[in-house]
Chain A
Amino acid sequence: AQKVTQAQTEISVVEKEDVTLDCVYETRDTTYYLFWYKQPPSGELVFLIRRNSFDEQNEISGRYSWNFQKSTSSFNFTITASQVVDSAVYFCALSEAYNNNDMRFGAGTRLTVKP
């Protein structure tokens, strides 16, 4: 069965620090998709990135970067030069391609960025 673990429940940093949110997953499928979502205080989850299991290239989008390593079953998310607006709960999620209505979410990591 698929499972996502976000071991960090809460992280607090000071503005401009870099921060990495960890995500470890378990799946028996060879084809799967990984996601990150951001949930700001307003409550609505916002899609950040989707990555398929065949694409291990790291991705960078502005201050955000993602490190996908199949060898360690990890899909970590780094925010560079954090800002107060980055404060949110971040969820990592996994979906197996042939059971693609079943998206498994981690418990989430609450990030607080202090000014």
Chain B
Amino acid sequence: DVKVTQSSRYLVKRTGEKVFLECVQDMDHENMFWYRQDPGLGLRLIYFSYDVKMKEKGDIPEGYSVSREKKERFSLILESASTNQTSMYLCASSLIGRALTYEQYFGPGTRLTVT
């Protein structure tokens, strides 16, 4: 079974803090993704990575950065947390396909509260 793990289920941080969210997958997937989930908005893509050290912006990259130093690990960084970044953060991974899309496998999510 594909397993995607995230470092924390719940996190409370103060405004202005630097926040690291870690994600690890064990299925040798090339693609990794970070989404945020907010009520009524579904999932919105923040960043994705298709290879080590490669990254692409999603729909809402502002205020976030990412790091992928190893294939299995994809980190989301909030440089200076703000209250509007309070949300559920979901990490996902998938195989890479040419002209076809593989399903994504998700981690359990990190519910981040910024006070």
Question: Is B99 within 8 A of A98, CB to CB?
Answer: yes
CB nearest neighbor in A for B103: A47
Within 8 A of B (CB), among A82-99: 91, 95-98
A-B contact count (CB 8 A): 58
Question: Is A97 within 8 A of B101, CB to CB?
Answer: yes
CB nearest neighbor in A for B105: A47
A52→B50 CA distance, assembly (Å): 22
Given the interface pairs A101-B56, A105-B42, the reply to whether A45 lies near B106 with Cβ below 8 Å is yes
Candidate in A9, A47, A52, A101 with the most chain B CB atoms within 10 angstroms = A101
Q: How many residues of A contact B (CB 8 A)?
A: 27
Flag B75-115 by CB within 8 Å of A: 1 or 0 each: 00000000000001010100001011111111111010000
Interfacial residues, chain A to chain B (CB-CB below 8 A): 4, 9, 31, 33, 35, 37, 42-47, 50, 52, 91, 95-98, 100-103, 105-108
29 contacts between A and B (CB under 8 A): A4-B42, A9-B40, A33-B100, A42-B108, A43-B9, A43-B109, A43-B111, A44-B106, A44-B107, A44-B108, A44-B109, A45-B90, A45-B92, A47-B103, A47-B105, A50-B101, A52-B100, A91-B42, A97-B99, A97-B101, A100-B101, A101-B31, A101-B48, A102-B58, A103-B101, A105-B42, A105-B44, A106-B42, A107-B42
